Structure 1
Amino acid sequence: MSQRVLVTGAAGFIGFSTARKLLARGDAVVGFDSVNDYYDPRLKRARLAELDRLAAGSGCDWRFVEADLADRPALDRVFSEASFDRVIHLAAQAGVRHSLTHPESYVSSNLVGFANMLEVCRNAKVPHLTFASSSSVYGANRKVPFSEHDGVDHPIQLYAATKRSNELMAHAYSHLFQLPVTGLRFFTVYGPWGRPDMAYYSFAEKILAGQPIALFNHGRHSRDFTFIDDIVEGVVRASDRIAPADPGFDPVRPDPATSSAPFRIFNIGNGRPVELKHYVEVLEEALGKKAVIELKPMQIGDIEDTLADVSAIEAELGYRPTTTVEEGIAAFAEWFFAYRRRLAG
């Protein structure tokens, strides 16, 4: 049966891709986004135009609301105009580096905005809220692969701290008000329609322009690069399955990933780490041009290696990522060249 779904961050990379998949399967979707200028709003508008085109061509029920999560009356109006079977909350102020210089935007979007979302979902008795967390919550933890069952009490930048705060806030609402909530820790998402502030996108721009790219930690970082289609498959599967309480939850030895409340945390990753140097080699091949590389030491706030333990989401939701880095980067490059032509023309 089709559902009515609110997708926040619908002009963003993952939000747009999630809304597109929901529309393609026949769901009614309301998108919500402030369309801010953290990166070029033309890309955000192009994503929204693509959703408009898809909805017009298929007759899907699609509506977009341009507003800020910190604007509680705007959120209240959205919930007064429609009831939702699911809420997928993907809006947030993203970016690790940006959080070092603009902490106030993370407080407004990721803390105040998320508190507003929890309140409206509670009041509207939404059957299930799914929200975006991040692999950055693992912070100073060096045990890999990262497991949802591990502690995450040592974030190393404000962005990660706000995402961990979201998980704690969500659990409190789930416990107090029996609001079913699932949090998803994303691992280095990439692909077509991606964010220009992400490394692979900025690398592509610089490689084609003949400008040097900086590989921090001398390119020895490894990342669990996860293709956007695999991420979205996990998001939709998680949203469809309402988070249950864990009947085996032990309050003496509490599991961070589950609860006696209807609350669940999942990693969504690829489960296969790729060294940054190799990732750049694949990007060079797809772009048809060699990079000018500058090797630099570790940046403050960076996690050295990431690798997701995805056994829980595989076992419970049947999630299995299928896209190799070579396939994913080729798909990104094809879109990237087409989008550049669109901007130039």
Structure 2
Amino acid sequence: MKILVTGAAGFIGFHVSEKLVEKGHEVVGLDNINDYYDPKLKYDRLSELGIDSEKAKKFNILSKSKLPNVSFSFIRLDLADRQALPGLFSSQKFDIVCNLAAQAGVRYSIENPEAYVDSNIVGFLNILECCRHNAIEHLVYASSSSVYGLNEKIPFETSDSVDHPISLYAATKKSNELMAHTYSHLYGFATTGLRFFTVYGPWGRPDMAMFLFTDAIINDRPIKVFNKGAMERDFTYIDDITEGVVRIIEKKKDSKNNLKADYQIYNIGNNSSVKLLDFISAIEQKLEKTASKEMLPMQPGDVERTWANVDDLINDYDYRPNTSIEKGVSAFIDWYKKYYKI
């Protein structure tokens, strides 16, 4: 298939693009490469896919991978660009769209709300419009566990009400799900939203706990432990996320059933809840170093606990993420040391 992956220079988008190419698909990656975190990490991810960094810096120019047998091209483009995005769709004739581009981060949405509306609302609407006008059969898109907000019932199920988000980031992701439902109903193409749960692993984002903790401990800085450590997360290793996304893309296309207009939501998580202090302990053990901990109160927009019920994913795609924290933490730290030459 020919697949558009937006957010291809991002953490999840890079891994999904890499996996799709390995499986023989033709992938066009799109990213605006903003400066929410160091763009060098984004360009280095693209380099792993054979894209020249200098070419990647130019807007609206499609550049092809220089690696042999790698069907990957990249274009730097903003989803909010209502002129350039339709042109890309009309010229490339995609079969499937996988929208992983978004302004990420719960806490940053409190400081810079406009960025979330531009990317996560305006940009997503533009994606939906391009799918509508270019006969895209299936749109797979990233949602987030943050949509569960103040829900107290554990584990979180996709049938739960998600009417109480506590960050603008979460509100934009819930909005994406509502918008996708509307377009599936009105215009007859399938949409599948994926609620990711605390993704971590090699090439991860520098603003996330795995990266922040590892970097601080190695460099003898205290780590910030919010809610005084009384938090739990359904930490999900990146390879488990990638496998889930690719299965949904491929099985949906290859289904013997007619690809009727439908709307689906799935949790992709490890189906377990790990105490934050146990997560930190796994990092300490791998580094053979004890963290200096700065115990802090809960931050605005945070929740105390997340846990994904993945029964629907198991039933429909025969898939359940299962990478242990110990294995995932070890893989991340090995990558971190190699990348930063430690």
Deviation at 1:56, TM superposition (A): 4.0
Deviation at 1:200, TM superposition (A): 1.3
Q: Is 1:340 matched up with 2:301? A: no
Q: How does 1:87-236 map to 2 (within 5 A)?
A: 87-236=97-246
Question: CA deviation digits over 1:58-94, x for unaligned, max 9?
Answer: 4122110001000122211211221111110000000
Give the number of equivalent residue pairs.
326
Deviation at 1:166, TM superposition (A): 0.2
Q: In the alignment, what sits opposite 1:77?
A: 87
Cα distance in 2, alignment partners of residues 122 and 294 from structure 1 = 50
CA contact (8 A) 2:269 2:308 kept: yes
Deviation at 1:202, TM superposition (A): 0.9
| 2:72 aligned residue (46, 62, 83) | 62
Question: CA deviation digits over 1:310-339, x for unaligned, max 9?
Answer: 010011011121310000000000000011
Cα distance in 2, alignment partners of residues 50 and 73 from structure 1 = 30
Q: Is 1:327 matched up with 2:337? A: no
CA contact (8 A) 2:30 2:76 kept: yes
CA contact (8 A) 1:83 1:124 kept: yes
Moved more, 47-56 or 110-119: 47-56
| 1:31 aligned residue (29, 32, 38) | 29
Q: How does 1:302-317 map to 2 (within 5 A)?
A: 302-317=302-317
CA contact (8 A) 2:65 2:73 kept: no
Cα distance in 2, alignment partners of residues 75 and 241 from structure 1 = 27
Moved more, 283-292 or 5-14: 283-292
Give RMSD over aligned pairs. 1.7
SS state of the match for residue 140, structure 1? coil
Q: Is 1:15 matched up with 2:2? A: no
Question: CA deviation digits over 1:83-117, x for unaligned, max 9?
Answer: 11111000000000100010000000000000000
Moved more, 14-23 or 71-80: 71-80
Deviation at 1:261, TM superposition (A): 4.9
- Counterpart amino acid of residue 166 in structure 1: N
Question: CA deviation digits over 1:32-79, x for unaligned, max 9?
Answer: 000110000000000000011795444122110001000122211211
Cα distance in 2, alignment partners of residues 194 and 236 from structure 1 = 19
Aligned CA distance change for structure 1 residues 149 and 320 (closer, same or farther; 3 Å): same
CA contact (8 A) 1:222 1:306 kept: yes
5+ residue gaps, structure 1, are 244-259
- Counterpart amino acid of residue 273 in structure 2: P
Deviation at 1:285, TM superposition (A): 1.4
CA contact (8 A) 1:180 1:242 kept: no
- Counterpart amino acid of residue 172 in structure 1: T
SS state of the match for residue 106, structure 1? helix
- Counterpart amino acid of residue 60 in structure 1: V
Q: In the alignment, what sits opposite 1:52?
A: 50
TM-score, normalising length from structure 2? 0.92
CA contact (8 A) 2:128 2:183 kept: yes
CA contact (8 A) 1:23 1:55 kept: no
CA contact (8 A) 1:9 1:33 kept: yes
Deviation at 1:220, TM superposition (A): 1.6
Question: CA deviation digits over 1:153-182, x for unaligned, max 9?
Answer: 000010000000000000000000011100
User: Quick one: percent identity of the two aligned structures?
Assistant: 53
CA contact (8 A) 1:27 1:60 kept: no
- Counterpart amino acid of residue 311 in structure 2: S
CA contact (8 A) 1:127 1:242 kept: no
Cα distance in 1, alignment partners of residues 307 and 208 from structure 2 = 18
Cα distance in 1, alignment partners of residues 66 and 319 from structure 2 = 30
CA contact (8 A) 1:70 1:108 kept: yes
Deviation at 1:214, TM superposition (A): 1.3
CA contact (8 A) 2:49 2:70 kept: no
Q: In the alignment, what sits opposite 1:298?
A: 298
Cα distance in 2, alignment partners of residues 143 and 325 from structure 1 = 23
Deviation at 1:213, TM superposition (A): 0.8
5+ residue gaps, structure 2, are 52-63, 254-259
Q: In the alignment, what sits opposite 2:283?
A: 283
SS state of the match for residue 242, structure 1? helix
